[in-house]
Amino acid sequence: MTELVIQNYWWLGVTKDMEKYVKECNIYQKMKNRTEVLMGKLKLSKVSEKPWTYLTVDFIMKLLLVVCNRLPKMTHLWQ
């Protein structure tokens, strides 16, 4: 990447300034690859054999209760 900048611009300390800019760049910090070790592989959830044995429950904006049955992927909403 330094070569692309040096093609059009040059000043004393251009590489140091570019390194400093990239390290402090907010977008770069959000987009760069992580160097930490991954936690492990994802594990699949067990598939239930009977309906209504495994449910997920969630509130949407404290006004709506959502209950989802995992086997047939059936959802019920209550206000």
Domain residue extents for the chain? 2-78
| Residues 64, 46 contacting (CB under 8 angstroms) | no
Evaluate if residue 79 carries a pLDDT over 70: no
Evaluate if residue 11 carries a pLDDT over 80: yes
43-77 pLDDT per residue, tens = 777 777 777 777 778 888 777 888 877 777 666 66
Residue 25: count of CB within 10 angstroms of its CB: 12
Q: What is the pTM of this model?
A: 0.35
User: If we measure between CA atoms, which residue out of 44, 45, 53 comes closest to residue 71?
Assistant: 53
| Residues 45, 39 contacting (CB under 8 angstroms) | no
